[in-house]
Amino acid sequence: MVTHNVRSSSGFSLVELMVVVAIIGILAGLALPKFNLFQAKARQSEVKSNLSHIYTLQVSYFGDNDTYVNMNTVSSAGVTNGNTLGFTPSPASKLRYSYSSTGGTTFTATGVGNMAKIFPGCSAVAANFDTWTINETKFLNQNVDGIARCAN
């Protein structure tokens, strides 16, 4: 006579499955803040690229006019009072940074980030904006690291 042992059936118990789900939840909880930080740093490529573009436009303008031009603020709201330099990113509504530039014998272009668009969930105050500058020597500098302030 052959007997069947019910306990020898293959599969996972509910407790084993719950332990695996808990481990996955813990790993996801640890990885999500790092992923948000990675995304925020990737969004900074916008300001670096656009400031480099403004530098090129300023150098070209200087070649024609022997002076650098003041560029009114360009932001996601559009261009303030026209833009002599010709910097018109498209679509402006997607910009995460506001751009402006001083002119004369030297120039400094500035990009000021909107932290709500760069690092969603960051409760940074106005002083914590992510701020970058570039000048006529093509020196790109991060003046205020808003991401580091949000990540801490």
On the CB side of 148, how many CA atoms lie within 13 Å of its CA?
A: 5
- The pLDDT value recorded for residue 77 is 79
| Predicted local confidence at residue 59, as pLDDT | 95
Distance CA 82, CA 118 (A): 26
Instruction: Going residue by residue through the chain, which has 152 residues, state the pLDDT in tens, using 9 for 90 and above.
Output: 666 555 656 788 889 899 999 999 998 888 887 888 888 888 889 999 999 999 999 999 999 999 999 988 888 877 665 577 888 887 878 888 999 999 999 999 999 988 888 887 776 554 558 899 999 999 999 988 888 777 76
> What is the predicted pLDDT for the residue at 30?
85
d(CA 67, CA 80): 21
Residue the block writes with tokens 């970058």: 132
Query: Is residue 11 classed as helix, strand or coil in its secondary structure?
Result: coil
Cis-peptide, bond into residue 91, ω within 30° of zero: yes
Burial of 108: CB neighbours in 10 Å, binned 0-12, 13-18, 19+: middle
Q: What is the pTM of this model?
A: 0.76
What was the pLDDT predicted at 152?
A: 65
Pairing label, strands 97-101, 71-75: antiparallel
* pLDDT value, residue 37: 83
Query: Which pLDDT does position 113 carry in this prediction?
Result: 87
Q: What is d(CA 115, CA 83) in angstroms, rounded to the nearest whole number?
A: 25
Domain boundaries, the chain: 41-151
pLDDT of residue 136: 95
Residue 86: per-residue pLDDT: 82
